[in-house]
Amino acid sequence: MARRKSAYEVRVGFLIFLALAVLIATVVYVGEQQGFMRDRFHLRTLMSRVNGLQEGAPVRLAGVDVGTVTSVEFSPDTDNPRIVVTMEVNRSVKKYIRKDSRAHIGTLGLLGDKFVGITFGSPNQPEVQDWDYIESSDPIDVEKLLDEGVEVFNTLRRSAGTFKEVTEAAQRIAWKIDTGKGTLGLLVNDPQLYFDLRRLLILVERMSREIESGEGTLALLFRDPSLYNNLTGLLASVHQLSDSLRQGKGTAGQLLNDASLYHRADSLVAELSLLSRKLNSDQGSLAKLSRDDSLYVSLVRTLASLDSLVQDIRRNPKRYVSFSIF
C-alpha cells in the first residue's frame, strides 16, 4: 500500500514539475516575443490625431516589430492641443533611430488595427535618447477620404447623366445628318455644295495667283504703294477736317458750333409755322388768294388778256407806239 502511494506521489510530482516547466518556457517565449525580457528605452511623438491607436499597439522600425505603445494621452498644452504617443522600443535598435526619424500611424490588415511605424534616420544625425521626441506625420483621415470619395462619386454620376444626354443629342444630330435633314444634313449630303466649294477654291486660287503676279485691280490694291499714301493722306485730311469742325473753324465749323444759327433756324421755323396756320385759317390776303377760286379764275383771265396784248403789240407795234419828230 505504501509503495502504491509513493509511486502515485512521484507521478503527481512529475506532472507538476512538467507543468511548471511548460509555464516557465511559455512565459520566457512570450517575454521574448513581446520584449518583456529585453532592455528597452522610451520614445515620444506628438500627433494631431491618432485614428483609434490604442495602448499595446505594436511599434515597427522599417516594418519590423521593435516595441509597443505604452500610452496615448492628450498634451497639457491647451493653446496647441496635440496627442502624446509614448512608446517602448528595444534598445538594440536605438542606433538606427536618429533625430530626423519620423513616426507615422499605419493599419494592420483588413480589420483596421493600428501600429506606429518609425523610419530610419540619417547617419549624420545623432541617436535619440531615452524619452526623446521624434517628428511625426499625421495619418490619413479615412473619413475625409470617404466623404471626398462620395462627393466624387456623385459628381461622376451627374457627369454620367450629362454625358448620356450629350451622347443622345449627338446620335440625333448624326441621324439627321445621315438622313439629310436640317441645314447640316443638307450641307453634308448635297453634292452641289461640293461643286460650289470647288468653284470657290478655284476662284481663290486664281485671285492668289493674280495677286502674286501683280495682275488685275486686286493685285494693284495690294502692291501699289501709292494706295497706302493716298489712304494715309485721306485719313490725315479727315482728321484735320474733324479738328476744324470741333474747333469751329470755317463755314461748316461755324454751322456746327455757332449757337446763334440754331436760334435763327428756330425763329424761321416758328415764322413758317405761323404762316401755315394763317393759310389754314383763311386769315390774310395770302390765305384768301390760296382759297378763293374766283380770284384764281380772274387772275387766269387777266394773264390771258396780258398775253393777248403782248402778242398783238408784237404783231402791230405801230398801233400802240408812234414816233413823231416834228
Each residue's pLDDT tens digit, 251-295: 666 666 666 766 777 787 787 777 777 666 666 666 666 666 676
Q: φ, ψ for residue 98 (rounded to 5)? A: -115, 180
Mean pLDDT, residues 178-197 taken together: 71
In a domain, 245, yes or no: yes
User: Which region among 77-91, 97-111, 215-229, 263-277 has the lowest average model confidence (pLDDT)?
Assistant: 215-229
| Mean pLDDT of all residues belonging to the chain | 77
Residue after which a domain boundary falls, among 139, 170, 199:
139
Highest mean pLDDT among 65-74, 107-116, 234-243, 294-303: 65-74
pTM of the model: 0.39
Q: φ, ψ for residue 104 (rounded to 5)? A: -145, 160
Residue after which a domain boundary falls, among 256, 274, 295:
256
Output the pLDDT for position 326: 45
In a domain, 96, yes or no: yes
Please, are residues 97 and 121 in contact by the beta-carbon 8 Å criterion? Answer: yes
In a domain, 159, yes or no: no
Whole domain around residue 61: which residue ranges?
Answer: 40-139
Of 82, 102, 116, 94, nearest in space to 38 by CA = 94
In a domain, 67, yes or no: yes
Count of structural domains within the chain: 2
DSSP H helical ranges for the chain: 2-34, 142-179, 182-189, 191-213, 216-223, 225-247, 250-257, 259-280, 284-291, 293-315, 317-320
- Percentage, residues of the chain above pLDDT 90: 12
In a domain, 45, yes or no: yes
Q: Residue 70: is its pLDDT beyond 90?
A: yes
Residue after which a domain boundary falls, among 139, 159, 190:
139
Output the pLDDT for position 235: 83
The more confidently predicted of residues 260 and 36 is 260
Please, are residues 118 and 90 in contact by the beta-carbon 8 Å criterion? Answer: no
Cell numbers that stand for 128 in this block: 535619440
Q: Residue 91: is its pLDDT beyond 80?
A: yes
Alpha-carbon gap, residue 180 to 324, rounded angstroms = 106
Q: How far is CA 102 from CA 116, 231, 259, in A?
A: 10, 77, 88
In a domain, 57, yes or no: yes
Q: Residue 296: is its pLDDT beyond 80?
A: no
pLDDT confidence band for 18 (50 / 70 / 90)? confident
In a domain, 301, yes or no: no
Q: Residue 225: is its pLDDT beyond 80?
A: no
Cell numbers that stand for 244 in this block: 476744324
Output the pLDDT for position 89: 92
User: Which region among 68-72, 263-267, 302-306 has the lowest average model confidence (pLDDT)?
Assistant: 263-267
Output the pLDDT for position 319: 66
In a domain, 272, yes or no: no
Output the pLDDT for position 88: 93
